[in-house]
Amino acid sequence: MTRFNNITGRLPKRRHVISFAYHALFLIIVYVVQALVLPYITALPSIPLILPLAAVGAAMFEGGSRGAAAGLFAGALCDLSMNQPIASFTVLFTVMCLAIGILSDTVIARGFAPYFLMCVGALALCSFVQMFTLLFFDDVPPRGLLTEALRQGLVSLPFTVPVYFGARGLVRRKESVQ
């Protein structure tokens, strides 16, 4: 009997650990694309933000607690890839993914339309976090910030399709393994 088993009386299910490992690998791949590929595509008017889309997908298909863990991991990766204050995206993604995971377990269907709406909300929250310091402490005019936030959101939204199918494919793979 392991130490964990003595404390809780049960071991974590292997499929949950494997599922989280798949989602962590998926988040790392999305992080690499966001941090090392997308900034160098000069044809885009702004740099897309796709890590929140992957975090929303993980939360929607994994549920509350595992979605919050995926949000914590994705937020830490997003804080690494962007020049933000420490833990701003980590806290945001954790709370956001916890709420999305709980809603997807209870109220929201796990289809593309709810996922898309959650991604729009996540991108709006991320834009607000990015421009919070500039707006309230550095006296940057809000019109330019809102224009850039809208541009970044519009450039990021086409990436919802491949990220959705990637996150959904991980769930289907998990179900076929069981």
Full residue range of the structural domain in which residue 141 is found? 11-177
For the chain, what is the domain count? 1
> Would you say 85 and 133 are in contact if contact means Cβ atoms under 8 Å apart?
yes
Place of tokens 């289809």: 111
Give ∠ CA 137-87-47 in degrees, rounded to 5.
Answer: 75
Q: Which tens digit of pLDDT belongs to each residue from 61-86?
A: 888 888 899 999 999 988 888 776 67
Q: For residue 74, give both structure tokens.
A: 């994705």
Asked if residue 91 belongs to a domain, the reply is yes
Please give the pLDDT value at position 7.
52
Q: Name residues of the chain where pLDDT drops below 70.
A: 1-15, 84-85, 172-178
Residue 4 inside a domain? The answer is no
- The pLDDT of residue 22 is 86
Residue 150 belongs to domain with CATH number = 1.10.1760
pLDDT for residue 1: 46
Within-domain flag for 2 = no
Q: 100-118 pLDDT, tens per residue?
A: 999 998 998 888 999 999 9
Nearest Cα residue to 39 out of 155, 149, 128:
155
- Domain-embedded: residue 1: no
With contact defined as beta carbons under 8 Å apart, do 20 and 70 qualify? yes
Q: Within a domain: residue 37?
A: yes
pTM as predicted: 0.84
Any domain includes 3: no
Decide if 160 is inside a domain: yes
Is 5 domain-assigned?
Answer: no
